[in-house]
Amino acid sequence: MSKCEQCIVRQFSSLKTLTKDELLKMADCKTSYTIKKGDPIFEEGETTNGIYCVKDGVCKLSKLSSNGKDQIVKLVKPGELLGQRSMISEEPANLSAVALEDMEVCFIPKAEIIQFFTQNNQFSMSVMKTICGDLKEADDHMVELAQKSVKERLAGTLIYLEETFGTDSDGSLRLQLSREELAGMIGTATESCIRLLSELKKSGWIDLIGKKIKIVDKNKLRRIAD
């Protein structure tokens, strides 16, 4: 059995629609990389020439605004693909992908992926559905930025981080974002984010253990978020 057949990325992404022969082809042409925490997988404006499969670790997809602030658009977890949209649109990457922890990724060249596109209808439909899902998420995020207060967005993001990435043995969020990154997710200044975290701690809804964040009262947070 080829490693691609047993890989987590295959279970959760469009790759599940590929045939055994296509997976074997992919295994022959892929390149595996270890990306260190803080290093980019690719940067905004770069030509990617293929897609990346996230086998292990989490990265942020972000865009640098004109004032030099990093706006985080999405967090990408194991089992997801990166770079599909710019490969299909034949445009440079619109976002940067930077590792938030050590990662294992595989790169599959464009020529191979395009071949799967032309030969396997299920695969091309699945990729399109994923891109449509990303667009829906972006729409929802835009509406949240416009309609929810920063406190509501922070509460919602903390719940999302716990429910998506889990907690450590001490109950704190497993995925530790810096205060700057957290601010970049909710679209506010770092100082505002720090002030709001202190407020939530004073209310007894979260605890701050050094740089770590622990949710103490999820129901109260959910009430703020909704």
Residues of the chain with pLDDT > 90, as a percent, come to 69
CA-CA distance, 193 to 199, in Å (whole number)?
A: 10
CA-CA distance, 148 to 73, in Å (whole number)?
A: 16
For residue range 120-147, list pLDDT tens digits in order.
Answer: 999 999 999 999 998 898 888 888 888 8
Last residue of a domain, one of 104, 130, 145: 145
Q: Are residues 94 and 16 in the same domain?
A: yes
2 pLDDT exceeds 80? no
Mean pLDDT of 73-89: 91
Last residue of a domain, one of 145, 165, 186: 145
Q: Are residues 98 and 203 in the same domain?
A: no
Contact 109, 83 (CB under 8 A): no
Q: Are residues 83 and 63 in the same domain?
A: yes
pLDDT: which is higher, 195 or 68: 195
For residue range 15-48, list pLDDT tens digits in order.
Answer: 999 998 998 889 899 999 999 999 999 999 999 8
Structurally, how many domains does the chain consist of? 2
Name the helix (H) or strand (E) containing 109: strand 103-109
Which residue from 60, 100, 66, 70 is spatially nearest to 189, judged by alpha carbons? 70
CA-CA distance, 109 to 131, in Å (whole number)?
A: 19
Residue with tokens 């967005």: 153
1 pLDDT exceeds 80? no
What is the reported pLDDT for 161?
95
What letter represents residue 69's amino acid? K
Name the helix (H) or strand (E) containing 67: none
Mean pLDDT of 89-111: 94
Last residue of a domain, one of 145, 176, 207: 145
Q: Are residues 194 and 219 in the same domain?
A: yes
Q: Are residues 139 and 155 in the same domain?
A: no
Residue with tokens 């990154």: 181
CA-CA distance, 64 to 44, in Å (whole number)?
A: 8
Host domain of residue 168: 148-225
CA-CA distance, 66 to 64, in Å (whole number)?
A: 7
Burial of 21 from C-beta contacts in 10 A (0-12 / 13-18 / 19+): exposed
Give SS3 for 155: helix
